[in-house]
């Protein structure tokens, strides 16, 4: 596969991952489908850091757009465009890493929930992991099913940002080959 086509494949794969990251982060603001928890400030810091919107979203979308253009014939489909794609892909790696770290911390620290009458993070700094011991989940009484909600969305962010890191790092290598060898984009007959 030539470097231009590889760039197109990477960019097209990054678009849905960006969308998934943004949606997951936005949904995390509304546990139990209610706006009330966000209004009252009963959401975790990891949600407020917006790793899925900023890191896995915007900081990966911008490189994806350039990488897409790099794979097409025109002003970006040349050695200079491939060189720039290395820098843009590096920005994508940084953004995806930010999303990944925030999501891992969200999983590790657990949700903010009401335990008896007090809002707290009962699984933070505990000796055993709540991720492997579902018998502790009953401690969270409000919002309903917050532990499953938290695990599902932060796990999705971990997977999507992990894929984004792999794809952007692959584009850095692809961009290097494209910079050294050319983008190998076929010109249509009659074009100079």
Task: Write the pLDDT tens digit of every residue in 2-46.
Answer: 877 888 899 999 999 999 999 999 999 999 888 999 999 999 999
Q: What DSSP letter does each residue of 98-154 carry, written as one string?
A: HHHHHHHHHHHH---EEETTEEE-TTTT-SS-TTT-GGGGGG--BSTTHHHHHHHHH
Cβ(42)–Cβ(101) below 8 Å? no
| Residues 90-113: tens digit of each pLDDT | 999 999 999 999 999 999 999 999
Position 17 scores a pLDDT of: 97
Report angle CA 126, 129, 133 to the nearest 5 degrees.
Answer: 120
68 Cβ contact partners less than 8 Å away, ≥ 6 residues apart: 7, 8, 11, 12
Task: Read off the DSSP letter of residue 174.
Answer: H
| Residues 54-69: tens digit of each pLDDT | 999 999 999 999 988 8
| Residues 158-176: tens digit of each pLDDT | 999 999 999 999 999 998 8
Longest dimension (CA), the chain: 75
CB hemisphere CA count around 179 (13 angstroms) = 14
Domain boundaries, the chain: 3-27+51-181
Give the mean pLDDT of 174-183.
80
Position 191 scores a pLDDT of: 47
């Amino acid at each position: 596969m030539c470097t231009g086509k590889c760039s197109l494949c990477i960019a097209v794969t990054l678009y849905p991952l960006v969308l998934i990251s943004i949606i997951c982060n936005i949904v995390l603001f509304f546990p139990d489908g209610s706006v009330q928890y966000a209004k009252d400030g009963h959401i975790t810091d990891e949600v407020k850091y917006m790793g899925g919107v900023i890191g896995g979203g915007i900081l990966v979308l911008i490189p994806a757009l350039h990488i897409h253009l790099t794979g097409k014939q025109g002003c970006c489909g040349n050695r200079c465009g491939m060189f720039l794609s290395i820098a843009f892909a590096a920005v994508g790696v940084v953004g995806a890493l930010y999303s990944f770290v925030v999501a891992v911390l969200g999983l590790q620290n657990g949700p903010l929930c009401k335990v008896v009458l007090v809002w707290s993070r009962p699984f933070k700094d505990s000796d055993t992991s709540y991720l492997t011991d579902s018998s502790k989940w009953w401690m969270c009484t409000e919002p309903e099913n917050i532990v499953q909600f938290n695990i599902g969305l932060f796990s999705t962010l971990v997977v999507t940002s992990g894929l984004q890191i792999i794809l952007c790092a692959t584009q850095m290598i692809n961009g290097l080959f494209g910079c050294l060898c050319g983008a190998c984009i076929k010109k249509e007959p009659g074009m100079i």
